[in-house]
Structure 1
Amino acid sequence: MTDRRSELAENLARVEERIAAACVAAGRKREEVTLIVVTKTYPASDVRLLHELGVRHVAENKDQEAAPKAAACSDLDLNWHFVGQLQTNKVRSVASYADIVQSVDRLKLVRALSTAAARAERELGCLIQVALDAESGQQGERGGVSPDGVEELAAAVDDAPGLRLDGLMTVAPLAGPYAGRQQAAFERLMDLSTALRRARPAANMVSAGMSADLEEAVAAGATHVRVGTAVLGVRPRLG
């Protein structure tokens, strides 16, 4: 076993213990929570090691890094999640490898994703990214649509060929009423998910929580947590 494989195995085990303990504390079953490992800035060789260790969901946030990495790992049974703010000029590339785009936050992006999915003859899962720090109708600093814009985007995804509405995603906000109140933020996302699922019961995915706050996300009811640093280590500085 290589040193890197051992390091990743130990980190994964610690994260697994955290998720399992959070599930127990919340009265939830462990299988209700899926771990997505965020592999941005790390090489395809790490993705291969993670796959060997049982990881099946990985996430990236920049197409220029994700596309070659996904190509290098195309022989593996992995679910690729795109979690970054997505420019429409990158949509065609992202639609060629991503299974789920977690950062759908505007109508123009829905239209572009639909066109690209149809061209690639693929079905793309979509999560609407909710910006809990956004003023009414405004986009948050980390992307996302304000809570009162969720229904309009959900209807657009419903009507878009090649797209499937899977649920909601958020990042704990750094400003606004939920700043520093991660669990309250995630509980707000769950309220929005409940409303969404009244008419769309299949859109039951709730992606929330990262390395620092996965426990709060599990307590609130998240179905997926996005963990990078706690598995792969502190990211190298870029630039």
Structure 2
Amino acid sequence: MSARRAFLILYTRVEIEEYNPMVRSRIQIKKIENIAARQVTFSKRRRGLFKKAQELSTLCDAQIGLIVFSSTGKLHNFSTTRMSQIIQRYMPHTNNLDHQLDASLQPQPEDCAILCKEVAEKNRELRQMKGEGLEELGIEELAKLEKKIERSCARVRHMKDVKCEKLITGLKQKGCKLAQHNKRLKEKMSEVAEVHTLENQSSSSSSKHSSYLQNYNAKLDTSLKLA
């Protein structure tokens, strides 16, 4: 196969995978929040894991034992032979594994030396950023330090401006909400005042009507007495 033909085949395959909606996309490895989807994925992948273990045992004549606990605490296991036999073979090796793990966790002298050197360098840079220990620096190093401090100050000022803008925007929004709330309160107060005015008018008219009735009754009584 010529190089040109191989390139065309590869290019066509890439185009098909790019524009074909049926091509499976890469799944992001993170915890599945949906409980039902999590259980379905666990069941499918558990079966796939056990199948791969069976294939590995068949191909390589290996003894394999798998122990899996689901999120609900249910036990699932797979073994090419009896699980107890595999565990018995595994137990004598636990001490060696613990020893290897402890040895791997112990820091090596070379790593300690590198870390100490990096810490000393960072401490020196920090002191220089504070304006300490500048006597040992030359003109070029001082110029570089000045530019670094200017960039840091620019970033600090930019972040301060962003924070101030957010604060001002939040205060403006609160002011608008308070103004709307005050407007609604004024409308309610005007409505209450109108209701009180109507009540006062109705009470005054009723009092006038009652006084008119009293005067009429008094005149009627007087006329009856005279009669």
The two structures have a TM-score, normalised by structure 2, of 0.21
Computing the radius of gyration over CA atoms, which structure comes out larger, 1 or 2? 2
TM-score, length of structure 1 as denominator length = 0.20
Structure with the higher strand share, 1 or 2: 1
